[in-house]
Amino acid sequence: MYKKCALCLALIVLSGRLATAGEIADALTEQAPEVTQGPLWAFFAEPLQPCSAELSREELATPGLLQTFYAELGYMPVWQSQARRTLLADTLLQLAEDGLEPAHYPLPEPLPDPNCADILSSRAYLDALQHLSRGKVEQARVEPFWRAPDSINPDPRPSVLTLAWQGLDDLPGAFAAARPTLPQYQLLRQAYGQLRNQPQQERPIIPAGRLLKPGMRDPRVPALTARLAAEGYLSIPPETDGASADLYDETLADAVRRFQVRHDLQGDGLIGNDTLTAMNTSAQARLDQLRVNLERWRWLAGDIEQETLLVDIAGGMLVYYRDGLPLWQARAQVGRPARQTPRLKSLVSRLTLNPTWTVPPTILREDKLPAIRDDLDYLTHNQMRVLDAEGRQLDPETVDWSRPGNIMLRQDAGPKNPLGKLVVRFPNPYSVYLHDTPSQSLFAKSPRTFSSGCVRIEGILGLLDVILSEEQCKDVSQRITRGRTEQVRIEQRLPIVLAYWTANVDELGQLSLRNDPYGLDAPLLQALDTAPR
């Protein structure tokens, strides 16, 4: 801070030359806490017009980012240079490349008091760095995300204030340093830029109609062909007239299948309502879809560690990352909209081999009790036992199934058990976990929202090969073969993140656009489009 004569001299001259802002900040940090109040001190000590009309009293009178930013610089103005102000304006415009709206970070028009203009410029600067680094929208407000206390590590990223102080000498560099370095963010940002820079041509809506199958003729085929060609799914010019113009042939069907796979639809070449909805989605809606997912990556940039199990809920995938690179992945079945898979971070703590299944209360009430009331033999056919609250087995004939009271249903381990041969457990308040499943055919579907909240993993035993040592994996495999229910503790607990993205770019640069099964995109987009304060 600007303190006493010796420090004032150090701020003016450092080693015979003009000190940079970074050197000033370093020098200030090393000094005693006594402050010589600079010209901006009055705005924080007692808010004055015109700044009090633009800034909340809390921003001026509490030690938040804005006041701390200036306190470290001795309450001296930092935007008096026209060159620096121009560079800040240009750098703020580039926020559009990250899906943020530059108009939400306005710089002040000329004001009678230049000190007030300086404060308003700093607010835009700090807001932009904060939003680019950690996200603009408060995550807990729109998409609550639970974190296990022992899974929260010190944030390795530089603080926003550190970025801001150092960035006074290199504004573009500060914004680049604030941006998440995750490959997933960088790839999605590139895809957003490519889509944003494409010419936005008006495309006709393809009308609804009967289910269209390969080999059929339909008057909508020319519009369908033109749409697929415009988006790069057809490598040959479409035939718009002639005898075959309305024929949905195999070449066109192959293009439709590629479109469907990229949009997380069943790649069967059948054109129904879901495929038509995806095809008729406007370019602006797709841009907005990428914007909300860039925001989700900004939220989670501090949660994704070098070694992480990552469940992509909307995409129905599990990916294991080691050293920041995808090492193993599998398809996943997640919760249906009425029973959503929660968003969380935790640590894998143990494995259950050949698990029994205690039916969760919701499934017991909504699914199992109606089936048992229809046919008491349902219990025998599904190898289920009835237990009281103390875990003692009951005779099903003695239970009043119209009002069964505080009972539990437990299914024995075996081929009919919905948890299969393995459960991967991690602490969380939702009682969800990863598990094997006998419902293997559902992995070929898309989207894969079939479960009651837990995450079913295709080929989950293969996960053991990458998270366990060779010796541990061999031992666990042998114990699974024996068929007994056993617990295996994981000594080196593995971070696991369950999160939600409706757009993703793989390591090959292929953009995948998903459905929004939980309807989370629209509320987030609305919040993202709302100006701060």
Look up tokens 């904060």; give the residue.
130
- Backbone phi, psi, residue 154, to 5°: -55, 135
Q: Which residue is catalytic, options 8, 131, 454, 473?
A: 454
Integer Cα distance of 504 and 193 in angstroms: 14
- Helices 82-93 and 114-134: angle between axes, nearest 10 degrees: 30
Integer Cα distance of 322 and 300 in angstroms: 17
Q: Is 454 a catalytic residue?
A: yes
Judge whether 163 and 317 are in contact, CB under 8 Å. Answer: no
Q: Tell me the two tokens of residue 71.
A: 């306190």
Integer Cα distance of 489 and 486 in angstroms: 10
Integer Cα distance of 103 and 531 in angstroms: 8
Judge whether 222 and 313 are in contact, CB under 8 Å. Answer: no
- Backbone phi, psi, residue 165, to 5°: -65, -50
- Residue 257: in which H helix or E strand, if any? helix 250-262
- Backbone phi, psi, residue 453, to 5°: 130, -35
Closest CA to 340 of 458, 500, 503: 500
Integer Cα distance of 297 and 329 in angstroms: 19
Whether omega before 355 lies within 30 degrees of 0, making that bond cis, reads no
Integer Cα distance of 273 and 209 in angstroms: 8
Judge whether 505 and 190 are in contact, CB under 8 Å. Answer: yes
- Between the two ends of the chain, the Cα-to-Cα distance in Å is 30
- Residue 495: in which H helix or E strand, if any? strand 486-499
- Helices 521-528 and 283-300: angle between axes, nearest 10 degrees: 80
- Backbone phi, psi, residue 498, to 5°: -110, 115
Amino acid letter at 54? E
Judge whether 292 and 524 are in contact, CB under 8 Å. Answer: yes
Amino acid letter at 173? G
Integer Cα distance of 507 and 503 in angstroms: 14
Residue 353, classified by CB atoms within 10 Å of its CB into exposed (0-12), middle (13-18) or buried (19+), is buried
377 CB contacts (<8 Å, ≥6 apart)?
A: none
Q: Is 381 a catalytic residue?
A: no
Q: Which residue is catalytic, options 104, 381, 435, 473?
A: 435
Residues tagged active-site: 435, 454
